[in-house]
């Protein structure tokens, strides 16, 4: 991995951590696309999971007094069911499919809220949220817009929404790392090794931590200055624009692929 790519990766980590600190999900969607563009899919999934655990974990810690632990616990039950399903899945998406899935995930924000009768605070819906979000997050790398659908009709204030989603996403990305990291570890430990997986040096992962923490802190300051209405409006348009770019990129790669 060249020094230019590493510099770009570190800058993307800081910027997307700041965005996630404000909106709770848009940064992860952007970062996943950046990583999928410069490294193989499995490597992108593992790196994204690591960065997002740091980003979401720090965000959850900074906003810890706002976390809904009741919802988080119920969400974890859904993750358990998702793990049972994921364990049976042998299919892993190619780079074009990752971009298409990311793009379609971004478009979920346009589902009319009047047609969505789900609320993470209702009976069994936090569990359903955990199951669906974990499954999509593991396969596509990101599931923020789907997660958001379960929170839009809740009565939680914006700080509680961001804090609780961050806590659930720490768990979700840990499962994703396990799913994608195991075959990656097999390649790394093979007798001949595999130099094409694109993992950066360990010191890059060390630098990711303070950059992600700083971005999360800065995002939290911006969040405190926003209104609930602006928070939801900006989230929708940023995610939509990102999803549109990914759909275009995924379809372009698919059409360009040799038959």
> What average pLDDT does range 20-24 have in this prediction?
75
Please state, in angstroms and rounded to a whole number, the distance separating the CA atoms of residues 223 and 158. 8
- 144-192 tens-digit pLDDT: 788 888 887 788 888 898 899 989 999 999 999 988 887 666 655 555 4
Please state, in angstroms and rounded to a whole number, the distance separating the CA atoms of residues 176 and 224. 30
The answer to whether the beta carbons of residues 216 and 18 sit under 8 Å apart is yes
Q: Give the pLDDT score at 189.
A: 54
The residue that leads in pLDDT, 236 or 52, is: 52
The residue that leads in pLDDT, 166 or 199, is: 166
Please state, in angstroms and rounded to a whole number, the distance separating the CA atoms of residues 220 and 165. 14
> What average pLDDT does range 37-63 have in this prediction?
87
Domain boundaries, the chain: 3-256
Write down the mean pLDDT value for the chain.
84
> What average pLDDT does range 41-56 have in this prediction?
88
Return all residues near 64 (Cβ < 8 A) that are at least 6 apart. 163
* Among 22, 78, 60, CA closest to 170: 60
Please state, in angstroms and rounded to a whole number, the distance separating the CA atoms of residues 191 and 216. 40
- 81-104 tens-digit pLDDT: 999 888 887 777 888 888 888 888
- 113-155 tens-digit pLDDT: 677 678 889 889 999 999 999 999 998 888 878 888 888 778 8
pLDDT surpasses 50 at 233: yes
């Amino acid at each position: 991995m060249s020094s230019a790519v590493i510099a770009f990766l570190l800058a993307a980590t800081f910027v997307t951590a700041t965005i996630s600190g404000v909106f709770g999900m848009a940064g992860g969607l952007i970062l996943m696309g950046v990583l999928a563009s410069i490294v193989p899919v499995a490597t992108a999934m593992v790196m994204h999971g690591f960065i997002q655990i740091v980003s979401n974990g720090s965000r959850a810690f900074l906003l810890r007094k706002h976390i809904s632990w009741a919802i988080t616990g119920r969400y974890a039950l859904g993750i358990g069911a998702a793990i049972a399903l994921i364990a049976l899945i042998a299919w892993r998406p190619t780079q074009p499919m990752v971009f298409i899935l990311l793009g379609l995930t971004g478009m979920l924000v346009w589902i009319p809220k009047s047609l969505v009768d789900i609320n993470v605070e209702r009976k069994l819906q936090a569990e359903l949220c955990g199951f669906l979000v974990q499954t999509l997050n593991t396969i596509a790398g990101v599931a923020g817009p789907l997660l958001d659908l379960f929170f839009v009709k809740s009565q939680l204030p914006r700080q509680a929404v961001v804090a609780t989603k961050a806590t659930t996403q720490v768990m979700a990305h840990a499962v994703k790392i396990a799913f994608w990291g195991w075959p990656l570890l097999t390649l790394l430990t093979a007798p001949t090794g595999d130099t094409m997986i694109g993992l950066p040096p360990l010191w890059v992962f060390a630098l990711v931590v303070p950059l992600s923490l700083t971005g999360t802190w800065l995002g939290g300051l911006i969040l405190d200055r926003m209104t609930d209405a602006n928070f939801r409006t900006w989230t929708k348009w940023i995610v939509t624009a990102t999803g549109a770019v990914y759909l275009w990129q995924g379809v372009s790669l698919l059409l360009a692929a040799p038959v």
